[in-house]
Amino acid sequence: VGVLGLITPDTAQLAHPDKIAGITFSDPVAEAKKLAAEVRAGSDIFIALTHTGVEADKRLAGEVPVLDVVIGGHDHVALLEPLKVGDVWICQAQYRGLFLGRVDLKIDGKKITKVGGRLIPVAEELPEHEEVKAMVASYRAKIDQKLKEVVGKNRARLVGEAEMVRSMETNLGNLVADVMREAARTEIALVNGGSIRASIEEGPITLEDIWRVFPYDSQVVRLELSGRQIEEVLSHSVSLRPGLTGGFLQVSGLSFVIGPSGPRQIRVHGKPLDRERLYSIAITDFMHAGGDGYSHFRNSRNALLQPLLIRDLLLAYLKKNKEISVASEGRIQRRP
């Protein structure tokens, strides 16, 4: 079996630039064409393992017909059964372990004569693997006591689902941006929605909840931008495709309206944005490094990495405010 791995060129914007320094991401279909004959010649079955999305997988199947199967990801589509393009079968099992994807191939020599497949929901009725269960339990026992520590109480659900925090204002986005702005002592804070990875339910908040929201060691960078540059940053934020990219910004100290032509009515603490003035801003280190396509910060002034993990800032806020209730405030509005 020959397996060819392919990833979306969007990785150049989606991954932390420091983690992919020196790596070039090119068109996966073009790369597959270069390698297809070599892989096909050395294998009975040719599988592409991709992270490019179903539409890109369809293009791949159409332009590299020597493939047998494409097992894909990236756009989180649940293909209930394999999709056929020409003689190539495409499979995807949504995301986050919600389904186990199964593909059955009947093979005669180097030819697939029959294909079957289905998605198996990972639910309570699915039997656990006892050996794996015991392994996980041994690790959970070591960390559960700490992770179950209650660090605060939440009176209103804090919304952090990807489809929400990457496309509109949410109360969790507001809270995170607020604690960043307060800690960095800036006028404005901007946080990419993709750095927020989970919601927090109403009720007791545990340390595990905070780690689910911020599994990465995201830090705060303090810098200065002109009002004109802030306009450009917000234009980039609202131009990104919701869901697939985490570049949509949650904000603090700032409000604006999203219209057909982009952001307008931008206000800082209630006052119209001055395009010529410099503003102090707190952002994530991911954004400062150019993540999600934010090259704008290369031209910022007085950039300084703060020794502050956003996760720790949120914990400090909860320590100070034992019971919280955060609402959306209309900082970001969409109007025709």
Total count of domains within the chain:
2
Give the model's confidence band at 255: pLDDT under 50 very low, under 70 low, under 90 confident, else very high: very high
Residue 127 in any domain: the answer is no
Per DSSP, the residues of 157-208 read: PBP--HHHHTTS--HHHHHHHHHHHHHHT-SEEEEEGGG----B-SEEEEHH
Instruction: Give the pLDDT mean for 238-242.
Output: 82
Rounded to the nearest integer, the mean pLDDT of the chain is: 93
**pLDDT tens digit string along 314-330?**
999 999 998 999 999 99
In a domain, 68, yes or no: yes
Q: Is residue 131 part of a domain?
A: no
Residue 244 has pLDDT above 70, yes or no: no
The verdict on 157 and 16 lying in the same domain is no
Based on the domain organization, do 228 and 268 belong to the same domain? yes
- Asked if residue 133 belongs to a domain, the reply is no
Are residue 206 and residue 156 in the same domain, yes or no?
yes
H or E element, residue 37: helix 28-41
Q: Select the more confidently predicted residue: 307 or 253.
A: 253
In terms of residue numbers, what domain contains 315? 150-334
In a domain, 104, yes or no: yes
Which amino acid is located at 128 in the chain? Answer: E
Kindly state whether residues 178 and 310 are assigned to the same domain.
yes
Instruction: Say if residue 11 is in the same domain as residue 107.
Output: yes
Same domain, 270 and 318: yes
What pLDDT band is residue 240 in, cutting at 50, 70 and 90? confident
Burial class (CB in 10 A: 0-12, 13-18, 19+), 80: exposed
Position 141 in a domain = no
**Of 81, 103, 121, which residue constitutes the final position of a domain?**
121
Give residue 113's pLDDT.
87
Q: Are residues 91 and 171 in the same domain?
A: no
Whether residues 167 and 308 fall in one domain: yes
CATH number for position 68: 3.60.21.10
The band of 14, judged by pLDDT with boundaries at 50, 70 and 90, is confident
E strands, the chain, in order:
2-7, 46-51, 69-72, 83-85, 88-92, 99-108, 111-121, 150-154, 188-192, 203-206, 219-226, 249-252, 254-259, 262-268, 271-272, 278-284, 301-309, 323-324, 332-334
Tell me: do 86 and 226 sit in the same domain: no
Read off the pLDDT of residues 173-184 as tens digits, 9 standing for 90 and up. Answer: 999 999 999 999
pLDDT tens sequence across 258-272: 999 999 999 999 999
Same structural domain for residues 312 and 223?
yes
Q: Are residues 49 and 154 in the same domain?
A: no
| Same domain? 298 vs 243 | yes
Q: Is residue 326 part of a domain?
A: yes
Q: What is the CATH number of the domain that holds 224?
A: 3.90.780.10
